[in-house]
Structure 1
Amino acid sequence: MQKIVVLALLAFVGISCHTQRSLSTKKPYATLIDTSAVFAHNFTGMAIYDVAQKKTLFERNADRYFTPASNTKLFTFYACLKTLGDSIPALRYTIKNDTLTFWGTGDPTFFHPDLKNTRTFDFLKSHKASKYFYFSDGNFGNQPMGDGWAWDDYNDYYSAEMAALPMYGNVVRVKVAQGNLITQPVIFENSFYKKDEGSNVVRIPADNVFLLPKALLQKNSYQQDVPFKTSTGLTQQLLIDTLRKNVSLLHVPVAKEAKTLYSMPSEDVYRLMMQESDNMLAEHLLLLCGATLKDSLSSAFTIKTITEKYLQDLPDKPKWVDGSGLSRYNLFTPRSIVKLLEKISAELPAQKLYSVLPVGGQSGTLKNGYKNTEKPFIFAKTGSLGGVYNLSGYLVTKKGKTLIVSFMNNNFNQSTTSIRKEVEKILTWIYENQ
């Protein structure tokens, strides 16, 4: 009996391996990859799934792990869909007698420079019944920067730090107009020092001191976002400066009786995160999920909870460590991303889902490509780091078939532009011919 079981298992493994080989060598998809001179020296993985037939059409290295870069935001997006409602929770708060105590939820929209939302400000500013305002960071259990982030990216807009109550996108927006320096928030206007050399503003790594090249003041127009160094003390200063009220600090957990203030429609925030690949929004939305699940602002807690509750059926266990994909510790397989995209499509109608994602030739990170077809056909998230370019999403063919595609490229030593154009060429062929 034991011998029969062993033989049956070996036969199953043989059939499975044969199926994988068949899928990985199936023309014409394999030919498109194998004959590409652009892909000759990089590591390429691809998975294509037919939604209507519920059938995998092609796999190449689909069970191998890749650095996903901003394809990680698809996981964050799914976490939000399973956790958050139609509106973003902005604050948790209690009112006792003449005292208002509030906690951040990680809501990234408070004075975010690219989102129009004043709900939190209006609530705090107009609250006349309370004489005393207390802000507590007792629910924040995260580090300001994610595991595996590159330390020398600290000055770049895409590496904004994390905080319990982010304000202004956690960046200083520096503008030069007709030789005049303008900063938002204005609290930093006296933190800039001129220097002779350089072509962009640089923050001192450990402090909120900014060096401004004199040459920038000669420009008629200039803009740069520079992350500021976050702290609870700075949050207090920003609140006092913005509200024109005294705000004291506490370090206590969220009270059981705390109520929730909501800020703006969730979909508007998702759209900016996905289309512009906004890392700050992604990281804080992941924290926001934790705050909703357990009043705990912790990326690790959110990832663990979402993975255990909703992602046990992925073909390959994901290594998921941050919300944005800045970390090279993230590792996903193409076929797991395809499965995730199938799960996402079950949460939203196609029209709404496609409006959130970048659209080929029309919006977001795909705006400048995919223009040589009669109508848009690719609705997908891109992801790029040095030596990394991936695209995962939904492809609607000329014949009206909906395919889910994850096309991942790692470890190349050429321009990202050349890889991106080759991906576009192959996906356009699939649109035209499948």
Structure 2
Amino acid sequence: MTRRCSGAIAAVLFLLCLSCSTPFIDSPVQLARTPDGRPFSDAHWGILARSLSDQRVIWARNERLHFLPASNLKLFTTAVSLLRLGPDYRYVTKIVTRGRIEGGIVHGSLIVRASGDPSLSARFYPGGAVGVFREWADMLVSRGIKEIRGDVIVDESLFDTQYLGTGWFWDDESFPYSAQISAFSLNDNCIDLGVTAGSTEGQPGIVEVTPRTDYVRVINETRTTRANRSYLGARRRPGTNDIVMTGTISPLDSPKKFLLTVHGPGPFGALLLKETLRAKGIVVRGAAGVVSDGQETQKDGELLLLSHVSPPLSTIISHLNKASHNLSAELLFRTLGAVYYGKGTSRNGTRVIMETLERAGVITDEVTIRDGSGLSRLSLVTPVQIVNLLEFMYHHPAFSSFFNSLPVAGADGTLSARMAGTCAEGNVRAKTGFSTHNGSLSGYVRKKDGEMVAFSMLTNNNPRDPSEIRRLQDSFCAWLCGQE
């Protein structure tokens, strides 16, 4: 089967599918129905699978219609980052002062020149951002610095102050996948909350905040109960750093953990750095603050105290794609704008991506980009342009970094528990995507005869359980790799 079945053949296969009980498809026609025979016609599907050896179309359906891509948009962000910045690109965060240093005393403020580094977290450093700050403090102590007679200032002016992406939902603001965006981002701009039961029934639960900081205020409305199970909730009040904890916690239950975003990543980082310096014995006389316009901390005459260099971009992108990490994608998106147009804005990031896609042969009229992660409900793509991007990357020197960053079916990342026991296991390398009522999967699969295929499956307006979408995606991949 090379493209679309004729109407007669499709009808016959469609009827045969009604009695099919196998969870795996024998033909892509079965994508029109769920595995248990219920119709899937109330969801919108766009599919393209194309050979990378001769551009032969193996299967196509609605491949030029526009879909919300969800996290499949990260394919564009990460591919363009590799193309324009290079796999060996590294972020450099500088700690400087414009004051003189005498007798271990800095007569001025300590300034952090933020670079948009996505790696200041436990995903890259065992001690997380606090561990990095402790290293910075140790380096300052080793230089004999014992007092700062000024402020601790974070200069986050490399990016603009649009902390949330264009087209994001306001009521997602508390959740880690919607973390605020800043050129100085640490601990993924989140705090961890651990809750354990109090000593007696009726007492408040015990809430522990990590990293420990005065930046957030916990409003603890939890209570200890005799029940066998805990029922807890946590949310951050919009526009504040007030964390409200509600519900009941049982001493018979295991401790509960929550991850919530902070409001204002720059000020959060500045205060946490100040607190860490003090904990290391460095006296800080001033306050913690941020500069967003860059005017108050001009670079003329400044003294470099230390530099922090990130892992290479290839490593950052591997973490990003395998975990589908939204904040990292947004930081890359703005980094592109900052490097090529002087300011990390959504508009500039989009400009760089669209310019690069056009050079790569992607038809930009079929791509609308409003953010870097795919969380926006305003970004739209077609399956054919995703496959065009995948094909371009396949022939580019940066392909190995791009290919190795994608989750492997049945092995790691967001595909670690999928396609097990099929020819797709260990074969498919693809980016997943999910948002409410939408699912996507795009990447590479090798057929039985060794031929490499690029594919894209986008689904929108699905009213059913998302697991049904994933099951059909997995079945299609198994069908593809079984072809000769």
Query: By the TM > 0.5 criterion, same fold?
Result: yes
Per the TM alignment, residue 404 of structure 1 is displaced from its structure 2 partner at its CA by 0.2
Match of 1:88 in 2: 90
Work out the CA distance in 1 between the residues paired with 2:111 and 2:64. Answer: 49
Work out the CA distance in 2 between the residues paired with 1:183 and 1:211. Answer: 13
Q: Which moved more, 1:159-168 or 1:235-244?
A: 235-244
Per the TM alignment, residue 433 of structure 1 is displaced from its structure 2 partner at its CA by 2.3
Asked if the contact 1:177–1:222 (Cα under 8 Å) also holds between the matched residues in 2, the reply is: yes
| Structure 2 counterpart of 1:412, from 462, 466, 477 | 462
Task: Kindly provide the amino acid, as one letter, of the partner of residue 239 in structure 1.
Answer: L
Match of 1:306 in 2: 353
Q: Which moved more, 1:81-90 or 1:158-167?
A: 81-90
Two-structure CA RMSD over aligned residues (Å): 3.0
Asked if the contact 2:215–2:268 (Cα under 8 Å) also holds between the matched residues in 1, the reply is: no
Q: How does 1:361-380 map to 2 (within 5 A)?
A: 361-373=410-422, 375-380=425-430
Work out the CA distance in 2 between the residues paired with 1:172 and 1:138. Answer: 23
Asked if the contact 2:215–2:241 (Cα under 8 Å) also holds between the matched residues in 1, the reply is: no
Work out the CA distance in 2 between the residues paired with 1:249 and 1:190. Answer: 17
Match of 1:31 in 2: 29
Q: How does 1:119-158 map to 2 (within 5 A)?
A: 122-123=135-136, 126-127=139-140, 128=143, 134-158=153-177
Q: Which string of whole-angstrom CA distances, capped at 9 and with x for unpartnered residues, describes residues 180-221 of structure 1? A: 432122115871122158622111122111112252474432
Match of 2:259 in 1: 225
Work out the CA distance in 1 between the residues paired with 2:340 and 2:95. Answer: 16
Asked if the contact 2:323–2:413 (Cα under 8 Å) also holds between the matched residues in 1, the reply is: yes
Work out the CA distance in 2 between the residues paired with 1:419 and 1:249. Answer: 45
Asked if the contact 2:216–2:242 (Cα under 8 Å) also holds between the matched residues in 1, the reply is: no
Per the TM alignment, residue 238 of structure 1 is displaced from its structure 2 partner at its CA by 2.3
Match of 1:187 in 2: 213
Over 3 Å counting, the alpha-carbon distance change for 1:38 and 1:230 in structure 2 is farther
Over 3 Å counting, the alpha-carbon distance change for 1:38 and 1:399 in structure 2 is farther
Task: Kindly provide the amino acid, as one letter, of the partner of residue 426 in structure 2.
Answer: P
Per the TM alignment, residue 314 of structure 1 is displaced from its structure 2 partner at its CA by 1.2
Match of 2:235 in 1: 202
Per the TM alignment, residue 162 of structure 1 is displaced from its structure 2 partner at its CA by 0.7
| Structure 2 counterpart of 1:241, from 262, 275, 279 | 275
Work out the CA distance in 2 between the residues paired with 1:63 and 1:184. Answer: 47
| Structure 2 counterpart of 1:252, from 283, 294, 303 | 294
Work out the CA distance in 1 between the residues paired with 2:308 and 2:123. Answer: 21
Asked if the contact 1:105–1:291 (Cα under 8 Å) also holds between the matched residues in 2, the reply is: no
Per the TM alignment, residue 152 of structure 1 is displaced from its structure 2 partner at its CA by 1.2
Asked if the contact 2:216–2:241 (Cα under 8 Å) also holds between the matched residues in 1, the reply is: no
Match of 2:377 in 1: 328
Per the TM alignment, residue 120 of structure 1 is displaced from its structure 2 partner at its CA by 6.7
Asked if the contact 2:184–2:265 (Cα under 8 Å) also holds between the matched residues in 1, the reply is: no
Match of 1:176 in 2: 195
Q: Which moved more, 1:244-253 or 1:306-315?
A: 244-253
Task: Kindly provide the amino acid, as one letter, of the partner of residue 298 in structure 1.
Answer: T
Per the TM alignment, residue 267 of structure 1 is displaced from its structure 2 partner at its CA by 2.5
Per the TM alignment, residue 62 of structure 1 is displaced from its structure 2 partner at its CA by 0.9
Over 3 Å counting, the alpha-carbon distance change for 1:129 and 1:413 in structure 2 is same
Match of 2:114 in 1: 104
Q: How does 1:18-97 map to 2 (within 5 A)?
A: 23-25=3-5, 31-34=29-32, 37-85=38-86, 86-92=88-94, 96=98
Q: Which runs of 5+ in 1 are unaligned?
A: 1-21
Asked if the contact 2:193–2:208 (Cα under 8 Å) also holds between the matched residues in 1, the reply is: yes
Match of 1:212 in 2: 245
Over 3 Å counting, the alpha-carbon distance change for 1:283 and 1:196 in structure 2 is same
Task: Kindly provide the amino acid, as one letter, of the partner of residue 284 in structure 1.
Answer: L
Q: Which string of whole-angstrom CA distances, capped at 9 and with x for unpartnered residues, describes residues 216-248 of structure 1? A: 474432211101111544343222123334556
Q: Which moved more, 1:181-190 or 1:325-334?
A: 181-190
Over 3 Å counting, the alpha-carbon distance change for 1:430 and 1:232 in structure 2 is closer
Per the TM alignment, residue 357 of structure 1 is displaced from its structure 2 partner at its CA by 0.8
| Structure 1 counterpart of 2:389, from 327, 340, 348 | 340
Work out the CA distance in 1 between the residues paired with 2:89 and 2:440. Answer: 30
How many positions carry a matched residue from both structures?
A: 412
Superposition TM-score, scaled by structure 1 size = 0.84
Work out the CA distance in 2 between the residues paired with 1:353 and 1:137. Answer: 29
Over 3 Å counting, the alpha-carbon distance change for 1:182 and 1:386 in structure 2 is same
Q: Secondary structure at the match of 1:200?
A: strand
Q: Secondary structure at the match of 1:49?
A: strand
Identity %: 23
Q: Which string of whole-angstrom CA distances, capped at 9 and with x for unpartnered residues, describes residues 105-149 of structure 1? A: 221222x23321666763465244885654323333141111111
Q: Which string of whole-angstrom CA distances, capped at 9 and with x for unpartnered residues, describes residues 13-48 of structure 1? A: xxxxxxxxx844478965343466553221111111
Match of 1:315 in 2: 363
Q: Which moved more, 1:124-133 or 1:287-296?
A: 124-133
Work out the CA distance in 1 between the residues paired with 2:289 and 2:394. Answer: 45
Task: Kindly provide the amino acid, as one letter, of the partner of residue 212 in structure 1.
Answer: M
Work out the CA distance in 2 between the residues paired with 1:334 and 1:370. Answer: 22
Task: Kindly provide the amino acid, as one letter, of the partner of residue 272 in structure 2.
Answer: L
Q: Which string of whole-angstrom CA distances, capped at 9 and with x for unpartnered residues, describes residues 337-386 of structure 1? A: 00111223334566554431111111111111100125512110011111
Q: Which moved more, 1:264-273 or 1:188-197?
A: 188-197
Per the TM alignment, residue 56 of structure 1 is displaced from its structure 2 partner at its CA by 3.2
Task: Kindly provide the amino acid, as one letter, of the partner of residue 199 in structure 1.
Answer: L
Match of 1:16 in 2: none
Work out the CA distance in 1 between the residues paired with 2:358 and 2:482. Answer: 33
Work out the CA distance in 1 between the residues paired with 2:58 and 2:66. Answer: 20
Match of 1:3 in 2: none
Give the helix-richer structure, 1 or 2: 1
Q: Which moved more, 1:375-384 or 1:177-186?
A: 177-186
Asked if the contact 1:120–1:263 (Cα under 8 Å) also holds between the matched residues in 2, the reply is: no
Over 3 Å counting, the alpha-carbon distance change for 1:190 and 1:95 in structure 2 is closer
Over 3 Å counting, the alpha-carbon distance change for 1:349 and 1:38 in structure 2 is farther
Q: Which runs of 5+ in 2 are unaligned?
A: 11-25, 101-107, 199-205, 224-230, 279-283
Q: How does 1:351-366 map to 2 (within 5 A)?
A: 352-366=401-415
Task: Kindly provide the amino acid, as one letter, of the partner of residue 48 in structure 1.
Answer: A
Asked if the contact 1:397–1:430 (Cα under 8 Å) also holds between the matched residues in 2, the reply is: yes
Q: Which moved more, 1:255-264 or 1:191-200?
A: 255-264
> Does residue 293 of the first structure (1) align with residue 340 of the second (2)?
yes
Match of 1:166 in 2: 185
Work out the CA distance in 1 between the residues paired with 2:79 and 2:154. Answer: 30
